[in-house]
Structures are given as structure tokens and as C-alpha cells.
A and B are shown apart, each in its own frame.
Chain A
Amino acid sequence: MRCAKVRRRLPLAVGNDLAPVGMKRVLAHIDRCSHCREEFESLKVSLESSKQWLAQEKVVWEEGEWKRMIGRSVRQYPAPVPSLAPWPFKKGWAYGLMAAAVILLFLLAVQPPFLKNRPGLGKAPFQKSALHQDSAGKPQETVILTLVSRQTGLKINWVFHKDFKWEE
């Protein structure tokens, strides 16, 4: 590794912030090159002094001052409203669900043509009059339902009377 390349890496090497391979190469170069070693030592001294200064120059909160500050913060802003939903509930989900509900209601209310013409969603194909009047125009009183078995040919007739009267 050349000196120029090593010197670019020295500030990181001094704080052990290089990748292990890079660190190994830099240290190997420092062992051989006295100029780079001098630079490395100089960086080390300045970094250690700065760290020492940072460790010494600590400022502290007075207990009362700290508590006053927290009190001011809590009073200044309205309390966060506890939500009904659990905490990790995402706002986006709520908006998405609301949008889906609105679209569904709209479709049910308006029934656009592409939905109307689809089988199963239109009006029932039964005619009311045919069920309630016979050929003479009299109101129909009974409905007979015949079930035929394909295998045995057995027929079962069910008769439903309008007044639920029993017929044999």
C-alpha cells in the first residue's frame, strides 16, 4: 500500500473504524514507514486529547431544572389522545379500509351497468303474477313440487297450501 493511500485512511484507522483487512494493511505499512507512523501517532494524540476533553467537559442538569423542563414540555402540548386502536395500528390501514367501505357502499347504492348485467346480481327471473293466478284468473292457492328419482323412478309430490292446510 502506498503512503498517499494509507494517509487517507489514517484518521479512520486511529479510531479502529476501518474494516479488519484494511486495518491490517494500514498497520503493516505503519510498521515499515516512519513518516506514516509519525502521522498516525500525531492523529492518535489529537484524538485522545479531544476524547479526554469531551469526557471532562461534561455539563449536568440540576434535578429541579430538569424536572421543570419536563413539566413545561408536558403542559405545553395537549396530551396525546389515547386511541381506541392498538398502538401499532397504522393510519394508512384505517384510511384504506375507510376508502374500501365507501367504494363498496357506492357500488351497492348506484349499481353501475357492468354489475347490473351480470348473471346472479340482477333481478330474480320469477314472475309474480304466474305464481299468484291460475289460468282462470283465480288466485293460486297451492304449489305442487314433484321430485323424481333418476335411478328408481320414484316420484314424490309436495303440496304447499297458502293457508298451510294439510292435504292428503
Chain B
Amino acid sequence: MKDEQRLIEDVLMGKHESFEPLLRPYRQGMLNMAYRMTGNLEEAKEVCQEAVFKVFRYLKTFKKGKSFKSWLYRVVMNSAYDRLRQEARHSNTAGASDTSFPDETHNPEKRYLELEIKEKIRASFRLLTPKEKSVFLLRDGEGMSIRETSEVLGCSSLSVRTHLSRARAKIRMEFARVYRLDRGK
């Protein structure tokens, strides 16, 4: 925390080399968050790029004593929302999400099963609204507390609980539906 504060002050004083160490601990988290929000690796990288631009540009507005992690994730989330909104406008490109996840396994049968399960989970994710998805990803994906999640999303803990409850219920419903269909085959 103190190191982080020092790095922020260094960047604000013009030492640009301190910017990379400042973001380094969160780089994978940022990318994964953007990836799960957009469903596409290239788009996720663009979202991260946009977020990093914003962080560098508006670092001076970051309030001392607040959690940098929460602020950073908030910027990433907002960039991802912007991207999703843009996509919604140009809806002809919708549904073109990347399904080629890296998979190191060489066993075709196992690979097929894993892909099938992943596809089911991904399908359940598509049912979630952006807010539900972000709450679920922060709480259950990143392991943040309800309070931290509410800080990142700029909403109340009650709202986080409501969206989280809905998200989990929706995912469970989709799971139940898919497995029922499988059993019916």
C-alpha cells in the first residue's frame, strides 16, 4: 500500500518508469476481467489498453488513501461497459465472440468434454446482464468482498447482493436446463 502510494506520487512527479510497476500486480486480473466481460481476447486487450490510457491520464484525480485496486478495476469495468455499449450499437458484429480458448490438452475426447462444459458455462454467462456479470466476476471470480465489489462498481452493498443473487440463480437455472437437456438426449 505504501509502495503503491509512493509509485503513484512518482508517476505524478513525472517519473514514468514507475507506472509499469504500479500496474504490474494487477495486470492479469485486469486482462481476465476484460476478457470475461467481452468474451474476446483481442477486445479484452483493447479494453485494457483503453483502461491503462485512462489510468495514466487521470491518475492525478485518484484520491489518496483510497484503494488503488478498486479504482483500477472500476476503470477497467467502465471501459468494458463502453465497449459493450459500442458493440450493442453495431449489433451486426454481436455474437462473434472468440471461442478458441487456449487448451493444452492433447486428448481429443477429454478436450471435447472440457470444451462442452466450458461452452455450457459460457452460455449461462451470456444470460447475465453486464451488471450481474461484473458483480459475479468480481465476487466469485476475483474473490473480492461485497464491500470491495460495491466500491469498484460504485453502488451499494445491497445492490451488489441483489445482482449477485440474481446472477447465481440464473447460472444455476441454466446449468439445470442444460443438464436436463443432456439427460433427455
Contacts and interface: CB of A to CB of B under 8 A. Distances in A.
Interface of A: 8-9, 11-12, 14-15, 17, 42-43, 45-47, 49-51, 53-54, 57-61, 65-67, 69-70, 72-74, 76-77, 79-82, 87-88
Nearest to B8: A87
A54 B36 contact: yes
17 contacts: A11-B168, A15-B164, A15-B168, A42-B172, A46-B175, A50-B121, A50-B136, A50-B140, A58-B28, A59-B41, A59-B102, A60-B28, A69-B52, A72-B49, A80-B14, A87-B9, A87-B12
Interface residues of B, number: 52
Which applies to chain A's interface (DSSP): helix, strand, loop or mixed?
helix
A81 B57 CA distance: 11
A76 to B, nearest CB: 6
A41 to B, nearest CB: 10
Given A61-B31, A69-B49, A87-B9, A49 B164 contact: no
Interface string B44-59: 1100110011011101
A14 B32 contact: no
B171 interface: yes
B165 A12 contact: yes
Interface of B: 9, 11-14, 16, 19-20, 23, 27-28, 31-32, 35-36, 41, 44-45, 48-49, 52-53, 55-57, 59-60, 64, 101-102, 117-118, 121, 124, 136-137, 139-141, 146, 161, 164-169, 171-172, 174-176
A95 B157 CA distance: 35
Given A15-B139, A17-B146, A80-B60, A59 B172 contact: no
Contact of A70 (B45, B52, B118, B176): B52
A87 B20 CA distance: 20
Contact of B27 (A61, A72, A74): A61
A51 B12 contact: no
Nearest to B50: A73
Contacts of A49: 117, 121, 175
A108 B178 CA distance: 81
A54 B137 CA distance: 8
Nearest to B29: A58
B64 A59 contact: no
> Which 7 A-B pairs give the minimum distances between C-beta atoms?
A11-B168, A46-B175, A11-B165, A46-B172, A54-B141, A73-B52, A53-B121
A72 B45 CA distance: 13
Given A11-B169, A50-B140, A53-B117, A45 B175 contact: yes
A76 B54 CA distance: 11
A81 B59 CA distance: 12
Contact of A47 (B12, B35, B140): B140
A54 B122 CA distance: 10
A66 B166 CA distance: 35
Contacts of B57: 77
Contact of A74 (B28, B32, B56): B56
A42 to B, nearest CB: 6
A12 B164 contact: yes
A87 B9 CA distance: 8
Given A17-B164, A61-B31, 15 more contacts: A9-B165, A17-B146, A46-B175, A46-B176, A49-B117, A50-B121, A50-B171, A53-B121, A54-B137, A57-B35, A61-B28, A69-B45, A70-B20, A73-B19, A80-B59
